[in-house]
C-alpha cells in the first residue's frame, strides 16, 4: 500500500470488474425493453444469433473496461500544487485541477462498489471552466489518504494504521447521530409533493414502456383502459386519492430511510463530515467557510414532533450543480440544530428587525394562482366543453385550498435583518428560514415597477455563490437603507467569503 501520489497511479485492479458491471448496468438501463422484447420474440432459429450477440456485447464491454482502466491514471504534482488525471482510450484527456481550487472531495460507495469493496472519489471545484472529476474504483485507505491530501495539501500519515485510527476515531464519536425514529418522523411528514411527482413519473414511464412493447391499441382496449375510463366515477376517484396518499406516505418513508439511514455528522478539523445511506453509502464534507446559505425548515407536524430539516448550500459552479452542492440534514431536534448552526456560524443567528411584504404581494399571487385559472376554467366551460362545470366541486376545492395556502404563505413571508445575518422566512406549509451572512453577499440588486414608485415598494435580490435570496414588495426606503448599509459592511471588511 502506497500513499505516495506523486507518481502516476492506476485505480484498484478490481475496478475493471466494477467498470464492467457499471457499463452493463447503464446498457441495461437504456436497452432493457429491447432485451426483453428480443428474448420474448426469439424462436429457435435466431436464438443462436441472440446468444452470440450477448457474448459479443459482454466481451466488448469487458475489453472497453480494461482499456479504460489501463488508460486512467492520476497523480499529484507537488511543485505546481496540481492534481492531474489522464483519461481516455482513443481521445486522451488530461485534466488538471489546482489543489487550492478544490471545493469538496466526496468518498462514496454505491451498490456495486459495496459488493466488490471499492470506493469512488469525486472532486468538486470552484471556477467556471472546471469539470467534475471522478475516480471510480479506489480502495478505502487510498481514498481517505488522497482526500486528506487533496483537501489539506499536507503530508498524510505514512502508516496505514495511523490513518485507519484517525478515521476510526472520527467515526466513533459522531457529534450528531440521527436515529431511525427521527428518520421515520421526517419520512411521514415531508416531501409530499416531491414523492407524488416521483410516483407519477414512475407510473408514466411504466405506462409508456408497456405501451411501447404491447402497442397502444391493446392498452386502451385492455383492462387497464377500461379501468381508466371507469375511474372517472367519483367513488373511484376517492379510492384513488386515498391509495395515492397512502402510497405517497409509504414511498416517502422508504425513500427517506434508504437515503439517509444511519446519518452521522462528525467534526473533523473544523469541518463537518456527513455519512449516510443504506444502499449507497455517501460521505461528504461541509466546510463552514464555504457555506453560503443555510436553510432551516419545518412544517406543522414537524413542529409538534420537534424536528427540523436543514439544508446547507456551499459555493457552486453553475446552476445545474445546485442540487448536488446542497446538503440535506434530515430530522434533527432543536438542540442538534443549534449545535450545527453554532459550528457553522460560531453563534446562533437571531432574527432581528422584521420587514413585511406589502399586501399587493398577496393580491398579485392570488391573481396568478386563483384568478387566472378560474378565468381559464370559465372560458373552457363557455367556449369549449360545458361538461367541465360538472366538476365545479374540484374548482371550489382548488380555490379554497390555494387561497388558504396563499394567505399563510403571505403571513409567513418575512425578512429579518440583523447585524451579521439576513434571514428570509417563507412558505405556507413547510416554513423555511434561509440564513445568509452579510459578508457572503456577492452582488445586490433591487427592482421597482414604475407604478410602485409612489407607493414606495420594491423588491430585493441578494446574490450569493450558492444562489439568490429574493424578497418581493417590501418598503423600498427600508430596503435601500439596508442595501447601503450592507454595501458599507461588505466594502469595508476584508473577510473572506469562501
Nearer to another protein, 107 or 423 (CB): 423
| Nearer to another protein (CB atom), residue 211 or residue 448 | 448
Separation of CA 348 from chain center: 25
- Which one, 141 or 289, has the nearer CB to another protein? 289
Q: Which residues contact 432 (CB under 8 A, 6 or more apart)?
A: 295, 296, 297, 425, 426
CB of 436 to another protein, least distance (A): 11
Pick the closer one to another protein by CB: 36 or 348: 348
Sign of the CA dihedral running 148, 150, 156, 161: positive
- Minimum gap (Å) between residue 127 Cβ and another protein: 9
Residue 279 three-state SS: coil
- Nearest residue to 423 (alpha-carbon basis) of 409, 434, 412, 432: 434
Closer to another protein by Cβ: residue 192 or 345: 345
Residues contacting 197, CB < 8 A, separation 6+: none
CB 479, min distance to another protein, A: 10
**Minimum gap (Å) between residue 349 Cβ and another protein:** 11
Question: What span, in angstroms and rounded, lies between the C-alpha atoms of 219 and 221?
Answer: 6
Closest contact distance (angstroms) between CB of 194 and another protein is: 23
E strand segments, 44-166: 73-77, 82-87, 93-98, 102-108, 119-125, 133-138
* C-beta of 147 vs 290, nearer to another protein: 290
DSSP 460-471: EEEEETTEEEEE
Query: Concatenated DSSP letters for 332-350?
Result: E-HHHHHHHHHHHHSSPPP
CB 367 within 8 A of CB 376: no
Nearer to another protein, 234 or 450 (CB): 450
Shortest reach from residue 426's CB to another protein, in Å: 18
- Closest separation between CB of residue 368 and another protein, Å? 16
Q: Residues interacting with another protein, by CB under 8 A?
A: 126, 315-316, 318-319, 347, 419-420, 441-450, 461, 463-465, 467-468, 480-481, 483-485, 487-488, 490-491, 494, 497-498
Amino acid at each position: 500500500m502506497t500513499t505516495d501520489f506523486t507518481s502516476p497511479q492506476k485505480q484498484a485492479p478490481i475496478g475493471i470488474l466494477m467498470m464492467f458491471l457499471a457499463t452493463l448496468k447503464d446498457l441495461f438501463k437504456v436497452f432493457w425493453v429491447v432485451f426483453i422484447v428480443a428474448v420474448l420474440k426469439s424462436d429457435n432459429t435466431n436464438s443462436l444469433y441472440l446468444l452470440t450477440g450477448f457474448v459479443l456485447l459482454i466481451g466488448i464491454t469487458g475489453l472497453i473496461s480494461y482499456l479504460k482502466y489501463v488508460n486512467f491514471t492520476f497523480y499529484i504534482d507537488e511543485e505546481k500544487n496540481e492534481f492531474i488525471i489522464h483519461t481516455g482510450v482513443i481521445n486522451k484527456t488530461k485534466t488538471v485541477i489546482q489543489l487550492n481550487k478544490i471545493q469538496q472531495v466526496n468518498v462514496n460507495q454505491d451498490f456495486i462498489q459495496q459488493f466488490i469493496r471499492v470506493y469512488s472519489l469525486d472532486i468538486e471545484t470552484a471556477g467556471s471552466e472546471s469539470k467534475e472529476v471522478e475516480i471510480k474504483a479506489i480502495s478505502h485507505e487510498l481514498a481517505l489518504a488522497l482526500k486528506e491530501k487533496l483537501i489539506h495539501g499536507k503530508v498524510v500519515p505514512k502508516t496505514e494504521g495511523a490513518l485507519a485510527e484517525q478515521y476510526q476515531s472520527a467515526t466513533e464519536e459522531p457529534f450528531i447521530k440521527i436515529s431511525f425514529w427521527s428518520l421515520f418522523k421526517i419520512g411521514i411528514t415531508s416531501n409530499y409533493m416531491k414523492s407524488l411527482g416521483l410516483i407519477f413519473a414512475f407510473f408514466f414511464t411504466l405506462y409508456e414502456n408497456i405501451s411501447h412493447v404491447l402497442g397502444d391499441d391493446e392498452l386502451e382496449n385492455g383492462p387497464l383502459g377500461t379501468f381508466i375510463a371507469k375511474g372517472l366515477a367519483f367513488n373511484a376517484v376517492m379510492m384513488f386519492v386515498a391509495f395515492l396518499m397512502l402510497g405517497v406516505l409509504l414511498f416517502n418513508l422508504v425513500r427517506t430511510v434508504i437515503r439517509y439511514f444511519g446519518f452521522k455528522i462528525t467534526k473533523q478539523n473544523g469541518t463537518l463530515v456527513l455519512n449516510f445511506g443504506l444502499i449507497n453509502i455517501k460521505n461528504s464534507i461541509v466546510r463552514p467557510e464555504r457555506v453560503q446559505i443555510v436553510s432551516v425548515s419545518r412544517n406543522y407536524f414537524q413542529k409538534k414532533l420537534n424536528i427540523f430539516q436543514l439544508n446547507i448550500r456551499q459555493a457552486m459552479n453553475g446552476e445545474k450543480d445546485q442540487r448536488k452542492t446542497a446538503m440535506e440534514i434530515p430530522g434533527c431536534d432543536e438542540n442538534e440544530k443549534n449545535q450545527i448552526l453554532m459550528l457553522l456560524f460560531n453563534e446562533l443567528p437571531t432574527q432581528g428587525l422584521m420587514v413585511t411584504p406589502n399586501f399587493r404581494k398577496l393580491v398579485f399571487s392570488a391573481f396568478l394562482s386563483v384568478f387566472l385559472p378560474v378565468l381559464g376554467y370559465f372560458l373552457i366551460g363557455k367556449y369549449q366543453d360545458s361538461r367541465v362545470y360538472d366538476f365545479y366541486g374540484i374548482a371550489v376545492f382548488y380555490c379554497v385550498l390555494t387561497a388558504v395556502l396563499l394567505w399563510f404563505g403571505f403571513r409567513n413571508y418575512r425578512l429579518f435583518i440583523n447585524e451579521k445575518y439576513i434571514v428570509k422566512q417563507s412558505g405556507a406549509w413547510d416554513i423555511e428560514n434561509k440564513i445568509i451572512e452579510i459578508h457572503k453577499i456577492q452582488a445586490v440588486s433591487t427592482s421597482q415597477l414604475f407604478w410602485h414608485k409612489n407607493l414606495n415598494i420594491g423588491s430585493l435580490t441578494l446574490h450569493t455563490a450558492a444562489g439568490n435570496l429574493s424578497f418581493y414588495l417590501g418598503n423600498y426606503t427600508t430596503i435601500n437603507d439596508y442595501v447601503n448599509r450592507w454595501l458599507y459592511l461588505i466594502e469595508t471588511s476584508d473577510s473572506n467569503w469562501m
